[in-house]
Amino acid sequence: MIGLILTWLLIGVQIVYLASALITLWFYTLPVNLVDRSAELPPKLPKIVLFYPVLRELEQTMRTTFTGMRRAQYPQELLRVISIPNDNDPETIASLKRLQLEFPFLEVLPVPATTDPTWDAVWQAWETNPKAYWWHQDKRKGDKALPPKKTRQLIWAMYQVAPGNEDALLSYIDADSVVPEDFWKTAAIGMESYDVVQNTNITGNLLSSWPASFYAMDHIAWDSSLYKHMSADGQHPFYVLGKGLFFRFSDLLKVGGFHPWLTIEDPEIGMRMWTNGAKLGVVESPLIEEVPATWSQGVTQRKRWVAGFFQTLSAPLTRMGMTRAQRFRARLNFVPCLSLAFNPIGFSVGIWALVASSQGEVQFSIGTTALSILTMSLALTLMVWGMVQAGRMSRPVLPQRRDRVRYVLRVNLVFILVYWLWWAIPLAKGFTMFLQDGGLVWERTEKRDANSALVRREVVTD
């Protein structure tokens, strides 16, 4: 009886583990639509507006971002960089005004409370646009008390700046983002062929602490590796990465702008754009960001990601007009993340089964053993591929081979399995936030200006 129970338990675990591995492998089979970075610039360059939403950020962190931005050349008359702090954040506003003395291209546009008359442009636009479904349906229908977070800043700024800029491109980045030198150029090239252009992301402080090393691996595994396959010739619902991307103002206005009642805007706005016919082009010129340096800050950040995906993949998919088949494909996007906490269990059970069977402790059928071997082989292939990507994708921020080797040794196969088990914490917390309708207030991730040395090194090199 015990042997039968163990057999069925093994089979159940391995089937779930195999399914998650096959879904990840399936993503890697999807075609990739890359922006040709070497292509000629269009004869008429577009105007570009970049929003910079910030909340109680270190002045030095923002200085590093603007220093990196200054390397990216684009005709000044076609480019606007607009910081959008909340108007009740005087410390950040004061820092930005001081930074304007160093960076004349910087504009400061404080975002007022939703009771301010300037918000009427938002309410009027949503009232006449059924694609802003949150305004017309469900429990928050017509609710003007938008939660105080990044999305609210983007909504207000978009509707203030859009008049006269409908054909312009809109981008936004996080407080710590360092854009690549060809950031504006590749956007102008890419938007000739695509409706959304997204730069890949990589971490600049991936050796600053042990937690940072593993958080950086998340970005290598998803943002720089698996994500680009979601472009898929326009056939798969995509999300966006929340920074380093470009829309057209006119396209965002048509779909109603950003959804204010979700923890993060990234999954929903990408999928709503796709539902309305948008195609994604990916730029393999990474935006460099900063990951948290501590385990607790990592939980804070990742639980919000998880909550935002759970929120988006429920009722909003129907509200934005997806068919049942499209909703199924959209939900597959979250499987690689959901499976993280299960991976160590599946891998450990598979190892135990193979060892126990070879030593004669437990007798499994040939089919059961073959299932374990297949699952373990696929899982091991994916993990080894991750190690290869870690070495390759870290090159822009770790030019020295010894540093890349050091990083790969940190995120080795054994340690990464333990880290994936840690993911059970943000997954559980994020799911709880989803059930409790949480995440409405901006819970910022602390930035420590971890990329300043990297930016200074690049500026000196240039």
CATH of the domain at 268: 3.90.550.10
Quick one: 263 and 403 in the same domain? no
pLDDT computed for residue 94 by the predictor? 97
C-alpha 416/C-alpha 341 separation (Å) is: 11
Asked whether residue 449 is domain-assigned, the answer is: no
Which burial class, exposed, middle or buried, applies to 165 when counting CB atoms under 10 A from its CB (0-12, 13-18, 19+)? middle
Quick one: 266 and 352 in the same domain? no
Residue 40: closest CA among 186, 203, 162: 186
Asked whether residue 247 is domain-assigned, the answer is: yes
Token pair in block for residue 116: 């301010």
Quick one: 207 and 141 in the same domain? yes
Quick one: 193 and 257 in the same domain? yes
Quick one: 278 and 246 in the same domain? yes
Averaged pLDDT for residues 424-436: 96
Asked whether residue 309 is domain-assigned, the answer is: no
Model confidence at 31: pLDDT above 70: yes
Residue of higher predicted confidence among 343 and 442:
343
Quick one: 251 and 391 in the same domain? no
Backbone angles phi and psi of 46, in degrees to 5: -80, 155
Quick one: 15 and 137 in the same domain? no
Domain containing residue 352: 2-27+342-422
Contacts of 22 (CB under 8 A, 6+ apart): 378
Residue 72: closest CA among 459, 451, 461, 457: 459
Could you report the per-residue pLDDT of 272-286, keeping only the tens digit for each? 999 999 999 999 999
C-alpha 218/C-alpha 115 separation (Å) is: 39
Asked whether residue 329 is domain-assigned, the answer is: no
Model confidence at 4: pLDDT above 80: no
Helices (H), 148-245: 150-161, 183-190, 210-221
Q: What's the total number of domains in the chain?
A: 2
Share of the chain above pLDDT 90, in %: 78
Least confident of 246-250, 377-381, 441-445: 441-445
Quick one: 17 and 80 in the same domain? no
445 within 8 A of 215, measured Cβ to Cβ: no
Beta-carbon-side half-sphere exposure of residue 18 (alpha carbons within 13 Å): 15
Model confidence at 363: pLDDT above 90: no
Averaged pLDDT for residues 165-183: 95
Model confidence at 376: pLDDT above 80: yes
Asked whether residue 299 is domain-assigned, the answer is: no
**280 beta partners:** 196
Helices (H), 138-291: 150-161, 183-190, 210-221, 249-255, 266-275
**pTM, full prediction:** 0.93
Quick one: 347 and 203 in the same domain? no
Asked whether residue 354 is domain-assigned, the answer is: yes
Kindly indicate the confidence band of residue 357, based on its pLDDT and cuts at 50, 70 and 90.
confident
CA 359 to chain CA centroid, Å, is 45
Which burial class, exposed, middle or buried, applies to 362 when counting CB atoms under 10 A from its CB (0-12, 13-18, 19+)? middle
Quick one: 251 and 173 in the same domain? yes
Quick one: 234 and 130 in the same domain? yes
Q: What is the mean pLDDT of the chain?
A: 92
Kindly indicate the confidence band of residue 6, based on its pLDDT and cuts at 50, 70 and 90.
low
Asked whether residue 137 is domain-assigned, the answer is: yes
Asked whether residue 116 is domain-assigned, the answer is: yes
Residue 124 has a CB neighbour count (10 Å cut-off) of 11
C-alpha 437/C-alpha 113 separation (Å) is: 22
Quick one: 267 and 389 in the same domain? no
